[in-house]
Structure 1
Amino acid sequence: MDPAPPTPGRMRRLRRWRPSRRTGIVLGAVAAVLLVLWLLFDWNWFKPPLERAVGAATGRELRIEGDLDVDLGRTITVSAERLRLANAAWSKEPRMGSAERVEIDIAPWPLLALRLRMKEVRAVRPDIRLETAPEGAGGNWVFGDGRAKADPGPPRWRLDRLWIEDGRLRFTDAAQKTDIDIALSSVAPAAREGRDAGSPVRVDGKGHWRGAAFRLEGRAASPLDLADTDTPYRVDLDARAGATRASASGTLTNPFRFQAFDLRMKLSGQDLEDLYPLLGLALPPSPPYALDGRLLRSGDLWRYEGFEGKVGDSDLAGDVKVDVSGARPMFTAQLLSRRLDFDDLAGFLGAPPSTGADETANPAQKAEAARRAASPRLLPDTPYDLAKLNAMDADVRWRAQKIHAPSLPMIEDMDARLLLDTGMLRLEPLNFGVAGGDVRATLRMNARGEPIDTRARIAVRGVELPKLFAQAELAQGAVGRIGGDIVLHGRGNSVAAILGSADGEVGLGMGRGRISNLVMELAGLDIAEALKFLLTQDRQVPIRCAFADFGVEDGLMTSRALAFDTTDTIVVGEGTVSLKDERLDLLLKPRPKDRSLLTLRSPLRVGGTFKDPSFRPDMAALGLRGAIALALGSIAPPAALLATFETGPGEDSDCGGQYAR
């Protein structure tokens, strides 16, 4: 069927919409312009307005020195090359950040609602420099005027994922002598982390923490998470500073302020003293250590909770708190050792620990032990560091349930409390279980001035004689308890200097007991009696009492009363002990209460040094008896025995009531 012919009205409308020649020229010109624009369009034309927009938002100049390009599609990809962002005006470094290339994937539909959703940002060789402000408030990561808006409202942009290739992050805090330089690159998240964890980064860097050099490696959450300062930032890092190593796994809140974190931390090193430049904690020298606990910080309060480990050959567990809100850190600790190796305490005295085959010590301590072994002196002469004693305050309670001391088996346990307040150190109490009894001490060291002024009071109570000399066979079966008091006041910056200048008094005594008769006979060189007990059977001799009373002045101990009284023999003595020169000069005079043949009774001289003491008969007196015996023997040989015959002039001592109990 043929189509209907056009009506007159339709013909008029067709004639009305027929393009004129002018319209055709305009449409052709528009098409030509669009073609030219399509052929000549350059996205770089948008660089100046983009740079101005970023500058207005951040207060920092942004320069795009390379090309700007946009790929349109279901995802819009914006790429820019050689970006440079200016630093804060107060910084000496002109540039805060740069990148060789940045690509941004943008979802197009949110743009219709004037919202920017960035699916992913990929940065190639980004270099970011973060630094704290000179005033200590904030840093160059605070943009604009740093003041929060009254009601900023919900953000109109969102970033889902950040991928870093060959990046670099530097952080500087000049006031804390801290600088960190880290290389970081994004890695695929572990299966356990899930896809929502973002892209964590592999970290490898170095720098200085509080002036001490360190190295750092491990993994951390995506740097994108740093934008939310209220969300914990996950880290798993391993750091080394010299011989000190710390492994931390946990979370940091607002890492750049470093004010809140919860980490599982393993800490190990060659010497706890090495923590002073790192943490500002003036801990005493120690053997190598390894500790594992939970490290937390909330503002100015640090806590190392539930830690366990070893220091030297001793186990150590407990809780530590450090409050840094005051002028000095306040170190508070509750410590427990189930088995304490006694020589691990040597650092408190300025001496190294033992360095035998089964002992733990670092190379420096082994060298110091070798130096001390070659020295003729025994008392530690390493000076205390007054700056460290004034660097922090402390309240430490340390209990040891059992003490391992092969050379001092009579030491059983320990309970000590150390208090340090503006250079005043107190050990109140310092108690040891010793040989079934107690040694209770209080010690005060005033390091507020130089030299250190030290006062010590030591009370010895109920120490059992056989346990005190447990390794001496002749002491087996002995009975008796020793007690006394020691009061000393000295000035000096080392143990040797303090004792070498000490004034005070030393008094020790023992009440009734028993001791081997063989010991007493050998002490007096009574040959006949000693042979009798050696060939037959030793017997116990009752002890009436024993006492030693010394006055101390300028490091010299001078005997005021010295006696050991049994029913068989009384030994009286006199002499001096020099704490300054570490020399002994004592004369002990045995006086038997029985009669004996073949005795060479003579005074016994205790001499030598603390490190190499000597115990020998007074050769002058012994030689006199020998000369008399030889003279008599030349007249009639049996008469020579008269020179060795002891008539027993000894008398009971006046023990008094103090030690007779």
Structure 2
Amino acid sequence: MALMIAPEDERRGGSWRWYLLAAVLALPVFAIGVVAVLFDPNDYKPQIVAAVKQATGRDLVIDGKLHLSLALRPTIAAKYVRFSNAPGGSHAEMVSLERVEARIALLPLLQHQIEIDRLILVRPDVLLETNAQGHGNWRFDNGVTARPAAPRIPHATTPRGNFLVRNLLIQDGTLTWRDGRKASTTTIRLPHAGIQMESATAPISVQMDALWNETKLNISGQVGSLNGLQGQSAAPWPLRLVLSTGGAKLNMSGAIADTAMGKGYQLKLEGATPALRSLASLLPELRLPDLHDVRVSAEIADRGAALPEITSLSLQAGPSDLAALVPGLKLTRLELGAPRTDQPLRMTAEGNFDGHAIAVLASYGTLASLVGGGSAPMPLDMALSAGGARITLKGSLGPLTSLSGANLGLHATIPDLAVIGRLAGVTLPGLKDVTVQSKLLSAAGGLQVVLKDLQFNQEAIDLGGEISIMTAPGLAIQANVLSRRVDADALRAAGLLGESSAPASAPGRAPRGPEGRSEGQRSASQFVIPDDPLPFAALRLVDGDVRWRIGELVRDGESTRNIDLRAVLAGGKLKLDPFAATLPAGPVSGSLNVDASQAKPAVALVLRSPGLSIQQLYHSLGRDGPARGTVELDLDLRGEGESAHAIAGTATGHLGLAAVDGSVDSQMLQQGLLGLLLRGINQGALLGRDKTTDVRCFALRIDAKSGVGDVRALLLDSSPLYLDGNGMMQFGEERLALQMRTQLRLLGLGVAIALRVDGSFAAPRVVPSMGGNPDAVGRATQGTAEATVGIIGAGVDAVGGVLDKVFGGDRGKGLGSALTPKTACSEQLTIARGGRAGPVPTPAAAAINAAPEQPAPTRRSRQDPLQRLLRP
């Protein structure tokens, strides 16, 4: 029989249940009210600090008061809170903040767990760092005693320390990352950041607004659980984050096996930016090129080695204007990549430069060697095409930052060298159709580049041999090269040798003055010998040992052949020895020594030639006309000073010139000393009788000591005139003191006139030693020094202007010398040659030019025929 309940009893039971429910609901409210009246959270500071200590193993310091907001999930707020760093950290606090607010779940406390629903941090200063061993300060240790080693896989669902924050909000924070192994520090401001997790085993969501170097960044995504971050999960800690700034974006996905040590990671990076320069503030230490439409991707994995494994590396860029790097350079596309760490880095680039298409194909080293920063040479294979040129390099090369360890084969074909120079940002001459083949080497001890087996070919110049350039401890050059032909005119036209100064007989040749110096090129000083400083300082900038042999050198349309020179320069001391060449006028050899290491540079010059063509010497002076014969040269001078004038003013040594059986254009002689003398005595037509003037012999010998020259031999024996003399020349003050005697051959009779030459090199003065017409002789003196050296000076210009400068002077000592009697050609030639034997006039020339010995002129009566001859 079923139990029956009356309806009224049912109504009484339902009411009872409602009363019971109301009592249950009122009890917590009553309890909260009681707690609000009786509970002070500041009394529990020690317990809170102890609980954090137990959960994390770190100290928590609360300087301000605690405030409690009662609810089913009470909220505790505090000011000026500090959380200690890991032992051995760089700073005492890991976290310091102005205010913290925590909403705590009550029920987990019954299970001895701290679970915070929401944690708000206001102006936190957070330090995340690793020590020298790579251990992170975010790894908490809540044990105070050592425990036995446990298996690597703990319980997967128990949060270490029984501590959980579900929602973390950061307002106006600062995050500092310090890498203890690299000793690097990065600081990021966090105006706003939010981190959410449902549980210790659930993924963590991240949303951050950051400022890095005043550049706005946004970081969003999802990472692994809190348990996984603290090493309490066997599975790798996953992550998927997106970093964006402006139009740039970087996606990072993957997992980390050991979050505590930051090891065992495997990540994939994919990034893109419309303009690489927009990232300049994030990477201030890099000079980013102005690349556009840039895309980059790579996979990075930790395999336990010292360096990560990088695979599938790819960088691409679209059309970009690179004028900021190289004016006129535009990029069409760029591809850079490597499939694996142990494979070469390959690059492909295309573009144009000043309207010329360019392309680069290159492979270099491996990613492992490049990232590792090793110094071992790495394989290089590069081909550059630009402006029709093609340059290839193949071999091995060390780090690009030092260019050491180079062993490269170089081959280049270049239609226009200037175009390649502009592409490289340097000025190169406009040489056309250049081919270069060589081996490029480098050595230890600083940058040293060696061009071995060099072959440089161009229409204007070719080079073959070896060139070495060193930069440490100072700049030094060593070379041993051979050239078949060097066209200086073409090189000058290409801008390699400066302005042209062609001879007068060729187009553009500048006219020469009587002393062989181009008009407009005289020294600005008061002296004939230039007093402008010579560039001795350049000799102190570089050391070197250069040997250069040239088959043919073309200059001003003329060829110099068989050039052989060696220049050794060390510590400001230059030695040019040997020097030999066959000039257009004939062979010449010698040496040059310069010591620029002392306050007054010392110079020693030796030049010798067995015979220089007289006609070619006059041609070098810009004068035309028939000529025959050669002149011997013997120059050996030493001096010191900063200018040519100073060196001449201290010169010690000798100059010797000798010539026999020659002839010159009579019209040309009329423009020199002979013409002036003959016109001065009313015999100007004498040189016009014949087209050429025979020269039986010419001899000159000047011995110099401390800037004073002793003219020991001076003889000109020609068909219309015999001239001899001696005397002194002061090169420092440029003063003359010469005694000269001329004999005119008129109708077979010798007529002698004694002359004295004094004054300065710039304004010489000639007066008769006795008798004669001073006015007539005076008219003949204009340009005496110029004309006297005119014959000599022709050779001076052809051998570099050395002899021209010999006739500039010094201090005045010992002026004057007794007139020596006339000496035969052979004797004067022997003196001029320094005692050496040599050619003498042929008997035929001696018979033609024979003239009786004449006594010194004596005073004559007014009716003397010679006086009538000299009458103006």
Normalising by structure 2, we get a TM-score of 0.44
Gaps of 5+ in 2: 1-106, 109-114, 137-177, 190-209, 211-217, 224-237, 288-303, 352-358, 385-389, 419-424, 510-518, 778-820, 831-836, 841-872
Cross-structure match for 1:129: 285
Larger Rg computed on CA atoms: 2
The one of 254, 277, 293 equivalent to 2:399 is 254
Cross-structure match for 1:227: 371
Deviation per CA, 1:546-593, whole angstroms, max 9, x where unpaired? Answer: 211112123232311110224664211334444334566656432145
Cross-structure match for 1:509: 658
Specify the code of the residue in structure 2 equivalent to 1:572. D
Cross-structure match for 2:470: 323
Cross-structure match for 1:541: 694
Q: What do you get for the CA RMSD once the two structures are aligned? A: 6.3
Cross-structure match for 1:398: 548
Aligned-residue offset at 1:429: 1.7
Aligned-residue offset at 1:330: 4.5
Specify the code of the residue in structure 2 equivalent to 1:525. L
Cross-structure match for 1:560: 712
Query: Distance in 1 between the 2:554 and 2:756 partners?
Result: 33
The one of 155, 163, 169 equivalent to 2:308 is 155
The one of 584, 587, 591 equivalent to 1:442 is 591
Cross-structure match for 1:302: 449
Specify the code of the residue in structure 1 equivalent to 2:283. D
What is the DSSP-based 3-state SS (H/G/I as helix, E as strand, rest coil) of the residue aligned with 2:268? Answer: strand
Cross-structure match for 1:55: 179
What is the DSSP-based 3-state SS (H/G/I as helix, E as strand, rest coil) of the residue aligned with 2:221? Answer: strand
Cross-structure match for 1:640: none
Aligned-residue offset at 1:160: 1.5
Aligned-residue offset at 1:480: 2.6
Residue pair 2:250, 2:272 contacting (<8 A) in 1 also: yes
Aligned-residue offset at 1:227: 2.7
Cross-structure match for 1:421: 570
Query: Distance in 1 between the 2:569 and 2:542 partners?
Result: 8
Query: Distance in 1 between the 2:720 and 2:330 partners?
Result: 88
Specify the code of the residue in structure 1 equivalent to 2:569. L
Aligned-residue offset at 1:656: 5.8
Query: Distance in 2 between the 1:410 and 1:469 partners?
Result: 16
Residue pair 1:589, 1:602 contacting (<8 A) in 2 also: yes
Cross-structure match for 2:839: 660
Aligned-residue offset at 1:516: 5.8
Q: 1:492 aligned to 2:641?
A: yes
1:222-621 equivalences in 2 (<5 Å): 227=371, 229=373, 231=378, 253-260=398-405, 289=429, 297-299=442-444, 300=446, 301-303=448-450, 306=454, 315=461, 317=463, 319-326=466-473, 329-332=476-479, 334=481, 336=483, 338-339=485-486, 341=488, 374-377=524-527, 379-384=529-534, 388-404=538-554, 406=556, 414-470=563-619, 477-515=626-664, 519=669, 522=675, 525=678, 531=685, 534=688, 537-538=690-691, 541=694, 543=696, 545-566=697-718, 569-582=721-734, 588-593=740-745, 595=747, 602=753
What is the DSSP-based 3-state SS (H/G/I as helix, E as strand, rest coil) of the residue aligned with 2:648? Answer: helix
| Distance 1:659-1:564 versus aligned 2 partners, 3 A rule | farther
Residue pair 1:343, 1:353 contacting (<8 A) in 2 also: no
Query: Distance in 1 between the 2:442 and 2:462 partners?
Result: 22
1:171-186 equivalences in 2 (<5 Å): none
Query: Distance in 1 between the 2:559 and 2:441 partners?
Result: 40
| Distance 1:432-1:190 versus aligned 2 partners, 3 A rule | same
Indicate the percent of aligned positions where both proteins have the same amino acid.
Answer: 17
Query: Distance in 1 between the 2:687 and 2:255 partners?
Result: 109
Aligned-residue offset at 1:502: 0.9
What is the DSSP-based 3-state SS (H/G/I as helix, E as strand, rest coil) of the residue aligned with 2:467? Answer: strand
Aligned-residue offset at 1:181: 11
Query: Distance in 2 between the 1:234 and 1:411 partners?
Result: 42
Normalising by structure 1, we get a TM-score of 0.55
Cross-structure match for 2:221: 70
| Distance 1:497-1:341 versus aligned 2 partners, 3 A rule | farther
What is the DSSP-based 3-state SS (H/G/I as helix, E as strand, rest coil) of the residue aligned with 1:338? Answer: strand
Equivalent residue pairs, number: 492
Aligned-residue offset at 1:118: 2.8
Deviation per CA, 1:241-270, whole angstroms, max 9, x where unpaired? Answer: xxxxxx99979742223425668899999x
Query: Distance in 2 between the 1:568 and 1:186 partners?
Result: 76
1:99-114 equivalences in 2 (<5 Å): 103-106=250-253, 114=264
